[in-house]
Amino acid sequence: CRPERKTRAPCTRRWELSEISRTSRTLGKMPVSKERVCYFYDSEVGTSYYGPNHPMKPHRLCMTHHLVLAYGLHRHLQMFRPRKATANDFLQFHAEDYVKFLSSITPDKQQQYISQMQRFNLGEDCPIFDGLFEFCRSYTGGSIDGAVRLNNCLSDIAINWSGGLHHAKKAEASGFCYINDLVLAILELLKIHPRVVYIDIDIHHGDGVEEAFYMTDRVMTVSFHKFGDMFFPGTGSIEDIGNNTGRYYSVNVPLHDGIDDTSFTELFKFVMQKVMVNYQPSAIVLQCGADSLAADRIGCFNLSLDGHAECVNFMKSFKVPILVTGGGGYTKSNVARCWANETAVILDKPLPKEIPFHDYYYEYYSDADYQLRIQSRTHIENLNTSEYLDSIKYQVSRNLSSVESAPCVEFKEAPPESLIPEFDEDLFSSDLRYGTTDAGLLSTPRSDSLYDSD
């Protein structure tokens, strides 16, 4: 039995944001400390299958995990299999009838429940497949458990590449997303942290997260995304800034096709520097959708591996607890490259460009001569002119001027914290393996025939 919980403030940060200069010059002078990084992975998530020709391939998570291990990054991580989230966890945000339907529907029952399928937006984009509810429990559990470890000062950075399903709404699926793990993780962080900033670098607008916190100043949502040309989900105008108490706490950065490293990272740093100084969050949630990379199957941006990772590195420099998740990304080999590389960036462990040989997935990387490389395409035009980007900076700056001082949050008795899961790293040895020296760390993959080609 846990002792009666007393209200407490967030963990003492190693670098107080009030000390940060209002110019970016200070960032390079921050004290350096060794972060404790935890990493969540459940091999079952990577074996889920949305169906033939569906662009979402959970198989990319197996590929990412194998690449992390092939590079030896696991030796520097606190590696855990997450607790599976429960229906009660989902009900902290999602509607009860929606959760109940997800928990009971199976592929063979779909014809009996056509009206409910339509009501909850289940179908072609968000299909019903075998093991759907367990899939949701697994990826959501990783994000919630990451937040719990941050709340309890057990880790400084938590990674859950299987999370980041940012389109799911309170009572409906959307954009390949069923349960919004990000909203649930943020709600967990809010039990301890007075202010949380959510940052989204997926090519699609983080509409589900923005909608959940649109009328509160406890969470600031910041989304960098493609906007216009009827691009999904069609939301995220720069004019959408929140409402009621949340007015000015939704920040949207709408972009055009072909944005490159220089334009994106300069804009990202400009916006996020202002957000961090004005809002002063005590926790960060960073959604690292890989569909903003060049040559993504669905995306239309032109970011390189290094450009995408620079955003992660910049947010890490603030020395604020961070939950890092995956998101979109539909060219599997590039998704694995991206997230393995960003795991290394988080650990401050530069990786050799030559991908190490490893079983099962090595041949997937022949598309770039087995190199850890994603290059911007030289023939793609950047439709984001300097004038357009300057106009975004001006409008975002004007809106953030209304958040000049961090909002005061009266810290009364907080909701009960989730219990810290009893993690058992030995679980990895039951169905995971890697060579002879790192037994218990790699999953035995299912047949490639289940995963289609990119």
Does residue 441 lie within any of the structural domains? no
Does residue 325 sit within a domain? Answer: yes
- What pairs with residue 37 in β-bridges? 157
What are 276's two structure tokens?
């961090």
Domain extent for 249: 37-409
Q: Which residue has the tokens 């490389």?
A: 373
In a domain, 22, yes or no: no
Residues at the binding site for a divalent metal cation are: 202, 204, 291
Tell whether 26 is covered by a domain: no
Residue 443 forms part of a structural domain: no
Please compute, for residue 297, the number of CA atoms within 13 A of its CA located in the half-sphere on the CB side. Answer: 15
Among 220, 254, 250, 216, smallest CA distance to 237 is for 254
Whole-angstrom Cα distance, residue 242 to residue 143? 25
11-15, long-range: CB < 8 A, 24+ apart? 11/150, 11/153, 11/321, 13/282, 13/319, 13/320, 13/321, 14/319, 15/318, 15/319, 15/320
Would residue 230 count as lying in a domain? yes
CATH number at residue 148: 3.40.800.20
Residues contributing to the annotated binding site: 125, 175, 202, 204, 291, 330
Nearest to 131 by CA among 48, 43, 41, 42: 48
Position 103 in a domain: yes
Would you please indicate which residues are annotated as catalytic (active-site) residues?
167
User: For residue 418, is it within any domain?
Assistant: no
**Structural element, H or E, at residue 196:** strand 196-200
Query: What tens-digit pLDDT sequence spans the chain (454 residues)?
Result: 433 444 466 765 443 444 433 333 333 333 334 789 999 999 999 999 999 999 999 999 999 999 999 999 999 999 999 999 999 999 999 999 999 999 999 999 999 999 999 999 999 999 999 999 999 999 999 999 999 999 999 999 999 999 999 999 999 999 999 999 999 999 999 999 999 999 999 999 999 999 999 999 999 999 999 999 999 999 999 999 999 999 999 999 999 999 999 999 999 999 999 999 999 999 999 999 999 999 999 999 999 999 999 999 999 999 999 999 999 999 999 999 999 999 999 999 999 999 999 988 999 999 999 999 999 999 999 999 999 999 999 999 999 999 866 666 665 555 666 666 555 454 343 334 333 233 333 333 434 434 455 6
pTM: 0.88
User: How many domains, the chain?
Assistant: 1
Which residue type occupies 310?
E
Binding residues for substrate, by number, are 125, 175, 330
